[in-house]
Amino acid sequence: MSENVHAPDLSVNLAGVTLKNPVVAVSGTFGFGREYGEYYDIGRLGAVCVKGITLLPRGGNPPPRVAETPMGMLNSVGLQNPGIDAFLSDELPFLRRFDTAVIANISGNTPEEYARMAEKLGDMVDLIEVNISCPNVKAGGMLFGTDPALAAEVTRAAKRAAGRPVLVKLTPNVTDIAHIALAVKDAGADGISLINTLGGMRIDTETRRPILRMNTGGLSGPAVLPVAIRCVYQVRGLGLPVLGMGGVSTASDAVEMMLAGAHAVGIGSAMFADPYAPMKVLQGLGEFMASHHLTRISELTGGVLPWEA
């Protein structure tokens, strides 16, 4: 078999679901796909993860909700969304018109709320991403993601009700991310997503007011890439499928993320600088495979060669 005859195989397996390529639009930066759908065919993406949804509609936090940081940004949107029923009736049918996997990102105030949402989703999405890492809401959110017992409880509740594989989305705002990852693995998670945003803050030196109306928010963008790579690397030994994200803006960043242990790679804030970033990463991955004589992109996953300690 000559290695140049076959088209490079960009498909990956994420927690039992085949994605045609590893490029995923992450939750909260891509809405429900409509807006960037005006710029390119979102059916070219491996998967679209939708804006975080909750059982009931949420209005979100007061503005300002964004502050720029060196090579990054803080946000404090606070899970503004129309609620799961409106998602199912008004948004999901649109997304389903495209040849891309759909990941539903869900947040709840209690384990039961996660279960009720998972139940409502049934098998209508490809994967469920259980968000226990939102820094911008009071109840639930990151509280669940920083306590292994609570994280496991939410995971179990979602898993019991879910008709599709469950990814649990972890926060980097913990001392030992592998510890939390192990807890959700033991509770039955089919995979994990990481990282959500890192806690951060900016202050206007003239007014002495924080830029964000909520005072603090979540850091994302290129600035967090090394933190994300490190987190993915630290959970690679658990044998859990990983959707790696945080600061990825180029194909080279995506390769790095896969080498650290990711099965698929999410792109979020990079789209704010360049709406076409996911398309460019996809193209760049193809070029990387060609120049490195790779036949399957999945060969990269966990391929880092760490120095011996």
Ligand X SMILES: Cc1cc2nc3c(=O)[nH]c(=O)nc-3n(C[C@H](O)[C@H](O)[C@H](O)COP(=O)(O)O)c2cc1C
| List 8, 10, 24, 29, residue binding ligand X (CB under 6 A) | 29
Closest distance between another protein and the C-beta of residue 190, in Å? 27
Nearest alpha-carbon partner for 253 in 274, 284, 275, 279: 284
Contact 54, 81 (CB under 8 A): yes
Residue 125 is encoded by which pair of tokens?
A: 């999405």
| List 61, 105, 298, 301, residue binding ligand X (CB under 6 A) | 105
Give the footprint of ligand X on residues 210-269 (CB under 6 A). 220-221, 224, 245-248, 267-269
Q: How far is CA 82 from the centre of its chain?
A: 20
Query: Which residues participate in catalysis according to the annotation?
Result: 134
What torsion do the CA atoms of 288, 104, 247, 147 make, to the nearest 10 degrees? -130
Cis preceding linkage at 132, omega within 30: no
Closest distance between ligand X and the C-beta of residue 247, in Å? 4
Selection from ligand X, another protein, none that 196 binds (CB < 5 to 8 A by kind) is ligand X
Stretch that binds another protein, among 29-37, 86-94, 126-134, 188-196 (CB under 8 A): 29-37
Rg of the Cα trace of the chain?
A: 18
Q: SS3 of 308, please?
A: coil
The rounded distance, in Å, linking the Cα atoms of 191 and 241 is 5
* Residue 22 or 52 with smaller CB distance to ligand X: 52
Does 58 participate in binding ligand X (rule CB under 6 A)? Answer: no
Give the footprint of ligand X on residues 192-221 (CB under 6 A). 196-197, 220-221
Closest distance between another protein and the C-beta of residue 68, in Å? 5
Does 43 participate in binding another protein (rule CB under 8 A)? Answer: no
Instruction: Name the strands in the sheet holding 198-200, side by side, starting at the edge strand that comes first in the sequence.
Output: 66-69, 72-75, 217-220, 198-200
| List 43, 83, 275, 286, residue binding another protein (CB under 8 A) | 275
* Residue 219 or 259 with smaller CB distance to another protein: 219
Contact 128, 114 (CB under 8 A): no
Scanning 103-262, the segments in alpha helix (DSSP H) are 111-121, 142-145, 148-161, 177-186, 225-234, 251-260
Does 191 participate in binding ligand X (rule CB under 6 A)? Answer: no
The rounded distance, in Å, linking the Cα atoms of 290 and 4 is 9
Does 66 participate in binding another protein (rule CB under 8 A)? Answer: yes
Binding site for another protein (CB under 8 A): 28-31, 34-36, 38-39, 51, 59-73, 75, 77, 80, 211, 221-222, 269, 271-273, 275
Binding site for ligand X (CB under 6 A): 26-29, 51-52, 75, 77, 79, 105, 131, 134, 169, 196-197, 220-221, 224, 245-248, 267-270
